[in-house]
Amino acid sequence: MINLNYENTLVSAVGSEGISPEKLESLKKDGFRILEELKEDPPGFMQLPLRFEEARDISARAASLKGFKNLVVLGIGGSALGNITLHQALNDPYYNLRSDRPGPRLFVLDNSDPAWTESLARLIDVKETLFNVITKSGSTAETLANFFFFLEKLKKETPDWKEHIVITTGEKGFLREFADENSLRTFPVPEPVGGRYSVLSEVGLLPAAICGIDILKLLEGASDAMENEHVPVIYAALQYYYYKKGKNINVFMPYSKRLESAADWFRQLWAESLGKNEKTGPTPVKALGATDQHSQMQLYMEGPRDKIITFLTVNETEPELRIDYGGHFLSGKSIRDLFNAESRGSMQALTEASRPNMCLEIPEVNAYHTGELIYQLEAACVIAGRMFGVDPFDQPGVELGKKLAYQILGTE
C-alpha cells in the first residue's frame, strides 16, 4: 500500500529544523484520537469508499453512454478537478487522440472564460456529444453559463437534445428542477459530501466509468486505505507541527506526470479546507518533478525556511526507455533511471540543506492506488483541520466572492 516516508522531517536528518520522535508520538496520539471521533459519526467522504453497490449501478448506466464521440464535463472546482485527476492518472496521456480509447473523448470545461468555451464549441459537434453538468447546489453560475450556451446549440441542432444531457446534482436547486421538468437523466451528489471531497462519488465516478476507468478498483483502494490509518495521521501531524514552527507553505510535488493534476486537486482540498478565520492558512503550492527542479527548486533550497515539501513518487514507473548514444554518460542508462535519480537527488539535496521533506510512495499508478491516495489525503486534511481547530468542510470565504459577482451582474 501507499507508504509515507517521513525520515527527512526528523531531527536525526535535518537537525534543529526537524521534529523529535517524542513530539511526533504526542501529535500522533492526538491524530488517532481525532480519527476515532470521526468514526463515531462519519462525515460524507468516509462513507464513499463503501458504496460498491452504487458504483456497480454507475458502471452499468455508464455503459449505455459510451456511444458518444465526446464527453464534456461542465463543472468547476470540486466538480472538475477530481475528474481531471482521475483521467490524467488512469488513461493514456494522449487518450483523446487514440483510435483505440475505451470511451469518448473527454473535455472538462471548468472555467467561464468565453474564449475557452467558444474554442471547444468550434471543435466538437454537439450532435455527437454528451454533456455531464455537475454542481451539487444546482446553481453554480459558471457551470450554468456554459450549460445554457451549449443547451441552446443542442436545441437548435438536434431534436433529441435531452439524450445529450446527464445532470449530476443535489436534491434541490435549479438543475434538479430543470432535470425533473424535462425528464433528463440524473445522478445524485450524496447530501453529506462537499464538492472538494466528492471525487469518489457520482461526481467523479460517472465520467471515469464512461471513459473506461475501473471505478470499483478505485473504491477498493479507498476502502482498504481506511485501514491504513498511520499515513493520514502522521501526515496531518507533521503538517500541523511545521505550520506552528513557521513553515506555512506546503509544496506538493509529484514525480509523475500522470499525477500532476492530483496536485491541482490537492491544492483546492488543502486551501479551501484549512484557510479559515484569519488564524490558520497553510498554503499549498503545486510543483512537478522533474520539471520544477528547473523552475522552483532554487527557492526551496536557498529561499526562506517557510516550506515543508511533500514528494509523491511511484515505485513502478512506466517504461524503461534505454539510452544508447556513444560515450555520453547517459549511454547504457534509461530515461527511467534519470527520472528516479532526479527525485532521490532532490530529496537528498533538501535534507543536506536542513530543509524538511517527506515522501508519499505509491507502488504503481493504477485505479486501486489512486483511490487509496485520494482517501488518504482527504483523511489527512480533515484530521489536520481538527488539529487546527477549524471546520474543514465549509468555505465561507468563497461565498462572498460569488455574492459580489452576482451583485455586479445586477441579480441581487
Share of the chain above pLDDT 70, in %: 96
Task: Give residue-wise pLDDT tens across range 326-340.
Answer: 889 899 888 899 999
**Residue-level pLDDT at 47:** 97
Q: Give me the pLDDT at residue 234, please.
A: 98
Which tens digit of pLDDT belongs to each residue from 129-143? Answer: 999 999 999 999 999
Q: Which of 220, 272, 372, 378 is catalytic?
A: 272
Helices 367-388 + 21-40 axis angle, to 10: 100
Q: Does the pLDDT value for residue 404 go beyond 70?
A: no
Q: What is the pLDDT of residues 50-67, one digit of tens each?
A: 999 999 999 999 999 999
Cα 6 from Cα 407, distance rounded (Å): 48
Mean pLDDT of 69-97: 97
Query: Which of residues 351 and 191 earns the better pLDDT score?
Result: 351
Determine whether 294 is an active site residue: yes
Give the rounded percent of residues in the chain with a pLDDT score beyond 90: 89
3-state secondary structure the chain: CCEEECHHHEHHHHHHHCECHHHHHHHHHHHHHHHHHHHHCCCHHHHHHHCHHHHHHHHHHHHCCCCCCEEEEECCHHHCHHHHHHHHHHCCCCHHHCCCCCCCEEEEECCCCHHHHHHHHHHCCHHHEEEEEEECCCCCHHHHHHHHHHHHHHHHHCCCHHHHEEEEECCCCHHHHHHHHHCCEEEECCCCCCHHHCCCCHHHHHHHHHCCCCHHHHHHHHHHHCCCCHHHHHHHHHHHHHHHCCCCEEEEEECCHHHHHHHHHHHHHHHHHHCECCCECCEEEECCCCHHHHCCHHHHHHCCCCEEEEEEEECCCCCCCECCCCCCCCCCCEHHHHHHHHHHHHHHHHHHCCCCEEEEEECCCCHHHHHHHHHHHHHHHHHHHHHHCCCCCCCHHHHHHHHHHHHHCCCC
The pLDDT of 201-207, averaged and rounded, is 98
**Of 53, 227, 279, 294, which one is the catalytic site residue?**
294
Q: Residues 309-323: pLDDT tens digits?
A: 999 999 976 788 998
**Where in the chain are the domains?**
3-39+220-397, 67-211
DSSP bridge partners of 167: 133, 186
pLDDT band at 277 (very low <50, low <70, confident <90, very high): confident
- Range 373-377 average pLDDT: 98
- State the CATH class of domain 3-39+220-397: alpha beta
**pLDDT greater at residue 39 or residue 318:** 39
Domain 67-211 has CATH 3.40.50.10490: yes
Of 368, 85, 372, 373, the closest CA to residue 203 belongs to: 85
Quick one: cell of 138?
444546482
Examine the residue annotation and report whether 156 is marked as an active-site residue of this protein. Answer: no
Per residue in 134-180, pLDDT (tens digit) is 999 999 999 999 999 999 999 999 999 999 999 999 999 999 999 99
| 402 is known as an active-site residue | yes
